[in-house]
Amino acid sequence: MSISIILVRPLFSGNLGSVARAMKNMGLKDLRLVEPVADLEDLEARKMAANAKDVLGRAKTFRDLKSALKGFDLVAGTSRRKGKERANWMGPRDFAEWSRSLPKRHKTAILFGSEDSGLLNDDIALCQKKIMIPSHPAQPSLNLAQAVMVVAYELFVAHSRPEHLSEGTPEKKSAKIEHLEAMYTDLHDLLWEVGFLNKSNPKHLMRLLRNLFSRAHTTEKEVRIFRGICRQVRWWKGQDS
């Protein structure tokens, strides 16, 4: 499994270096930054990276999260906050064990939010899996680099063990993130047109639908089917009007 670490709106340059070092400790190479305030070229970033300056040097910067996620098969978000829009959490160890069943060429992105506010609800909405690191209630929030290390360590341990899949086990290829987002746009537009969405809070139902499709690990073929259904219903609605 190919794993990328994505830092969303990171604030402090020192944390960039510390994250790069944690990644290299655990064999990860692809670091991506979304709307960073922190500076990759800052002396503090390079100092904290130590022997992982190569990871820091390869890091890519993106103007928004959807651009950073293009081409991925799975997105997992990390947070310590719970709520009705943030259900179905896994611990990092459970996530790592579950991820062993994914195809070897599966591209997975793991998101970490900014140091002051974490991932926003709109960020979490793009995630098929959600990871919460257990911590003491007196101090539940982890430093950004510490959080990356915990998750990366569990993934390293889980994927260092021999494969347990049998040779005949079929690999289910999940839909690319950008194709899922296109499907969600089609669903939103259709449900809006037929008056099914609550106009005062349309995002609520869409987040429930996202959770449903995430649990199903929707494939490219299934995405094409649902988008085809949306197109056919909208065509029929146009014919009927």
* Mean pLDDT (whole number) for 9-20: 97
pLDDT at 166: 38
Query: How far is Cα 101 from Cα 20, in angstroms, rounded to an integer?
Result: 26
pLDDT at 87: 64
Mean pLDDT taken over the chain: 88
> DSSP per residue over 65-98, as a string?
HHHHTTT-SEEEEE-S---TTS-SEE-HHHHHHH
pLDDT at 241: 57
pLDDT at 64: 96
pLDDT beyond 80 at 30: yes
- In a shared domain, residues 58 and 142: yes
pLDDT at 216: 77
When divided into structural domains, the chain yields a total of 2
Instruction: Please count the residues of the chain.
Output: 241
Query: How far is Cα 9 from Cα 151, in angstroms, rounded to an integer?
Result: 19
- In a shared domain, residues 13 and 130: yes
Higher pLDDT, 194 or 51: 51
Query: How far is Cα 124 from Cα 83, in angstroms, rounded to an integer?
Result: 12
**Which one, of 62, 27, 8, 20, lies nearest residue 156 by Cα?**
27
**Which one, of 136, 130, 91, lies nearest residue 112 by Cα?**
130
* Mean pLDDT (whole number) for 139-153: 95
pLDDT beyond 80 at 218: yes
Establish if 165 belongs to a structural domain. no
Query: How far is Cα 157 from Cα 148, in angstroms, rounded to an integer?
Result: 14
pLDDT at 231: 86
The predicted-structure confidence for 99-144, as pLDDT tens digits, reads as follows 998 888 889 999 999 999 999 999 999 999 999 999 998 998 899 9
pLDDT at 177: 86
The predicted-structure confidence for 165-210, as pLDDT tens digits, reads as follows 434 344 567 788 888 888 889 889 888 888 888 888 888 888 888 8
Establish if 66 belongs to a structural domain. yes
Position 152, amino acid = A
pLDDT beyond 90 at 56: yes
Can you say whether the dihedral through the CA atoms of 211, 214, 218, 223 is positive or negative? positive
Q: Which residue has tokens 């987040």?
A: 207
Establish if 168 belongs to a structural domain. no
Task: Show the domain range for 87.
Answer: 2-160
- In a shared domain, residues 76 and 141: yes
Higher pLDDT, 166 or 67: 67
Position 126, amino acid = L
**CATH label of the domain that carries residue 125:** 3.40.1280.10
- In a shared domain, residues 212 and 137: no
Establish if 138 belongs to a structural domain. yes
* pTM to 2 decimal places: 0.76
3-class SS shares of the chain: helix, strand, coil, % to 5: 50, 15, 40
How far the first Cα of the chain sits from its last, in Å, is: 49
Q: Determine the angle formed by the axes of helices 144-160 and 13-25, rounding to 10 degrees.
A: 10
Whole-number Cα distances in Å, 157 to 32, 91, 93, 191: 23, 14, 9, 44
Q: Are 3 and 129 in contact, with CB atoms under 8 Å apart?
A: no
Task: Tell me the percentage of the chain whose pLDDT exceeds 70.
Answer: 92
The predicted-structure confidence for 69-89, as pLDDT tens digits, reads as follows 999 999 999 998 776 655 678
Establish if 136 belongs to a structural domain. yes
Query: How far is Cα 89 from Cα 98, in angstroms, rounded to an integer?
Result: 13
- In a shared domain, residues 95 and 214: no
